[in-house]
Amino acid sequence: MTVQLTQKEQSLLQDQKSHEEICVQKYNSYADQASDPQLKELFRNYAQQEQQHLDTVNQMLQGQVPDMNQQQGGQQQQGQQQMKPAKDQSGKQQDAVLCNDMLMTEKYVSDSYNTAIFEFQDTNMRQALNHIQKEEQQHGEGIFNYMKSNDMYNPQ
């Protein structure tokens, strides 16, 4: 199924494309920089999911409605798993900086998807954007849980 996108929809998707490209770059870079192996793995997993988001956005930019049923392979579990505290304290401060930056990034990206969802005419396109937004929120939850379990974040 092909959809004719409005100028506004195209513009919003271009914004999301650039956001996803930055997320892929950041997660890959931060996976290399992180000292905790668990955090490295978390960032690598999220980089792969962000690449899927980027692929979906590119598909949408071509007017194609993505089939979200093919892209849901076990991604919901990531944000809900219990994080084990990191044993090695060296590099923990740097890991906290990386986590803080990615948490802020996820908040921003999720919010921008929220705006885009309300601007799309096609229900299936809205659902695809909503699916991506939920995964962005799960990434934020996973980072939050990691930070909380490693005494990097203290919600009060």
**Tell me: the pLDDT tens digits for 78-100?**
444 445 544 556 689 999 999 99
CATH code for the domain of 120? 1.20.1260.10
- Nearest CA to 56 among 11, 21, 22, 28? 21
Give me the residues of the chain with pLDDT under 50, please.
72-82, 85-86
Q: Is residue 110 part of a domain?
A: yes
Q: Is residue 111 part of a domain?
A: yes
Instruction: Give the count of domains, the chain.
Output: 1
Q: Is residue 76 part of a domain?
A: no
* Neighbour count for residue 46 (Cβ, 10 Å): 28
Cα–Cα distance between 46 and 34 in angstroms, integer?
14
Q: Is residue 142 part of a domain?
A: yes
Judge whether 105 and 45 are in contact, CB under 8 Å.
no
Q: Is residue 23 part of a domain?
A: yes
Q: Is residue 2 part of a domain?
A: no
- Domain membership of residue 114 as a residue range: 7-63+91-149
Q: Is residue 47 part of a domain?
A: yes
Q: Is residue 77 part of a domain?
A: no
User: Helices 123-149 and 7-33 meet at what angle, rounded to 10?
Assistant: 20
Predicted model pTM: 0.86
Judge whether 83 and 36 are in contact, CB under 8 Å.
no
